[in-house]
Amino acid sequence: MLELLRAQIEKLYQLDFYRRRLAQASLKPADIKSLADFARIPFTSSAEFQAEIRKKPRECSLYNPQVTRINFSPSGEDLYPVYQTAADLERMHQVCARTLRAAGVTSQDLAAITFGYHLFIAGLFYQNQFEYYGAKAIPLGPGESERAVRIINDYEVTVLVSNPTFAMKLAEQGIPSLRTLFVGGEPFTSVEGYPARVKAAFSRPVAIIDSYSMANCMPIARSCQRETGLHIMDEFVYAEVIDPASGQLVAPGEKGELVLTHLHKQAAPLLRYRTGDLTVIEETPCACGRRLTMPKGIIGRTDDMLKVKGVKFWPSQVGTVLRSYPGLFNRYRVQVSSSRGVDSLRLLLEGDPANSALLDGLAERLKTETLVKFNQIEIVEKLAPGPLVVDGRAGRKF
Ligand SMILES: [Zn+2]
């Protein structure tokens, strides 16, 4: 890993954007002799990356004249370009092919891909990896569920690539040839009970493969047919988990912000890029040959971290837990207050107060996931419009 990182840093040093960052820390590529040295390289924030990548190609030091494909990805109200060279695409397909094998896909499988193909990256990303692997793929594209079901049944499609919601909609209409479902585009593994619910929508056992990636880093992680969590594709990206407040690496198995470095990418490579995504990486060898796994995928965002009762608390984790109670709660609000130095945490849920019997179980789940005990959880019929989080201690709202 260190050798790959060092070789990549040599290349990144040729780019103004990264040379300046190493210079900030008085580092030259030759100074990176260990992973501890690597951890001295300043992080790249999303804002810094965005400011550079949105420049015109001839002014952007992350652009590469060998680029052969430009996709786009939404960020805020605008789009930013996703650059790939032919070598970047080849490597992406190679690493994905290995995950298709681990997912149990064979050359006889026929996949139907329901992600979009124009402008954005997801549709072509899947189409190309199935073709590269030697399987068959139909570029269905999104929507038109009746036509999708007809094609899936006429051609006995065995693999569906879809967001979980659309997959369940198709399953309702009966697609009995399906054996494997690749999901993406929505929180899935992180939502307790959701994978079981999606499985139950099908008339026969279906293996579900979850993936995690960002447009500017595709792929990052994917589960295998053993469904043990999302394995980091560590021949493609180097993943670190940091304490978002201090920037220090956390111990394996501890919660923190995911930081990514591309090991080979030529166009728009990432170096210690802060994803803002909250996760846990465990080192647990899986029978498929992978060893770094995010058992629950992405469990929240790190930009909203609070310290409550001396514990790091990420309010977005509440939303992740609530997704496992579909249709019950419309909105929620987390309120933090303090009296004589003692913090108090309150959760208001908008829903039917008749469901209050669920609250003990919910309180237990929240304590397990966030490590903080809520002092009060209450269902109200109507929650006044307002922010998700009100931190009365600091007058902070977001
Ligand atoms: Zn595995």
- Report helix, strand or coil for 339: strand
Closest of 185, 175, 119 to residue 150, by C-alpha: 175
Q: 36-62 pLDDT, tens per residue?
A: 999 999 999 999 999 999 999 999 999
In the predicted structure, residue 395 carries a pLDDT above the cut 80: no
In the three-class reduction of DSSP (H, G, I as helix; E, B as strand; rest coil), residue 137 is classed as strand
C-alpha 77 to ligand 1 mean position (Å): 37
Alpha carbon of 356 to ligand 1 centroid (Å): 39
- Cα–Cα separations (whole angstroms), residue 94 to 6, 103, 134, 274: 22, 14, 11, 25
Residue 185's pLDDT is 87
Q: Which residues of 214-223 are buried (b: 16+ CB within 10 A; e: fewer)?
A: bbbbbbbbbb
Q: The tokens of 47 are what?
A: 């804002």
> How far is 97 from 91, CA to CA, in rounded Å?
10
Average pLDDT of the segment spanning 134-159 = 97
Q: Token pair of 313, please?
A: 């608390």
pLDDT band at 303 (very low <50, low <70, confident <90, very high): confident
One-letter amino acid identity for 219?
A: P
- Ligand 1: centre distance to CA 189 (Å): 14
| CB-CB neighbours of 59 under 10 Å | 8
Q: Is the pLDDT of residue 354 over 90?
A: yes
Q: What are the distances in angstroms from CA 163 to CA 10, 86, 259?
A: 39, 28, 25
Ligand 1 centroid–CA 130 distance in Å is: 19
d(CA 230, ligand 1 centre) in Å: 8
CA 187 to chain centroid: 8
Please, which pLDDT band fits residue 76 given cuts at 50, 70 and 90? confident
Give, in degrees to the nearest 5, the angle at Cα 87 between 107 and 238.
Answer: 90
Q: How far apart (Å, rounded) are the C-alpha atoms in residues 204 and 317?
A: 32
Peptide bond into 219 cis (omega under 30): yes
Count the helix, strand and coil residues of the chain and give each as a percent rounded to the nearest 5. Answer: 30, 30, 40
pLDDT grade, residue 304 (50/70/90)?
confident
* Both tokens assigned to 13: 């040093």
Whole-number Å distance, alpha carbon 35 to ligand 1 midpoint, is 26
Distance from residue 5's CA to the centre of ligand 1 (Å): 24
CA of 120 to the centre of ligand 1 (A): 28
Q: Burial level of 356, CB count in 10 A (0-12/13-18/19+)?
A: middle
Q: What is the pLDDT of residues 358-391, one digit of tens each?
A: 999 999 999 999 999 999 999 999 999 888 999 9
Q: How much distance in Å is there from the Cα of 125 to the middle of ligand 1?
A: 21
Task: Supply the pTM of this predicted model.
Answer: 0.90
Between β-strands 159-162 and 110-113, what pairing exists: parallel, antiparallel or unpaired? parallel
How much of the chain, in percent, has pLDDT values that exceed 70?
Answer: 100
3-state secondary structure of 368: helix
From ligand 1's centre to the CA of 28, what distance in Å? 37
Distance 289 CA to ligand 1 centre (A): 6
Q: What is the DSSP letter of 384?
A: P
Report the mean per-residue pLDDT for the chain: 95
The rounded Å distance from CA 262 to ligand 1 centre is 22
**CA 272 to centroid of ligand 1, rounded, Å:** 26
Interval between CA 231 and ligand 1 midpoint (Å): 7
Residue range 316-330: average pLDDT?
Answer: 91
Cα 208 to ligand 1 centroid, rounded to whole Å: 12
What's the gap in Å between 223 CA and the centre of ligand 1? 6
CA distance 289 to 105: 16
Distance 60 CA to ligand 1 centre (A): 38
**How many whole angstroms from 205 Cα to the centroid of ligand 1?**
18
Inform me whether the pLDDT recorded for 161 exceeds 90. yes
Domains with residue ranges and CATH for the chain: 1-40 (no CATH), 87-236+280-301 (3.40.50.12780), 306-397 (3.30.300.30)
Token output for 187: 């929180």
Quote the CA–CA distance of 384 and 370 in Å, as a whole number: 25
CA 198 to centroid of ligand 1, rounded, Å: 20
Give the Å distance between the CA of 269 and the centre of ligand 1: 27
Q: Give the span between the Cα atoms of 398 and 391, in whole angstroms.
A: 9
Which neighbouring-strand residues pair with 300? Answer: 278
Distance in Å, CA 216 to ligand 1 centroid: 24
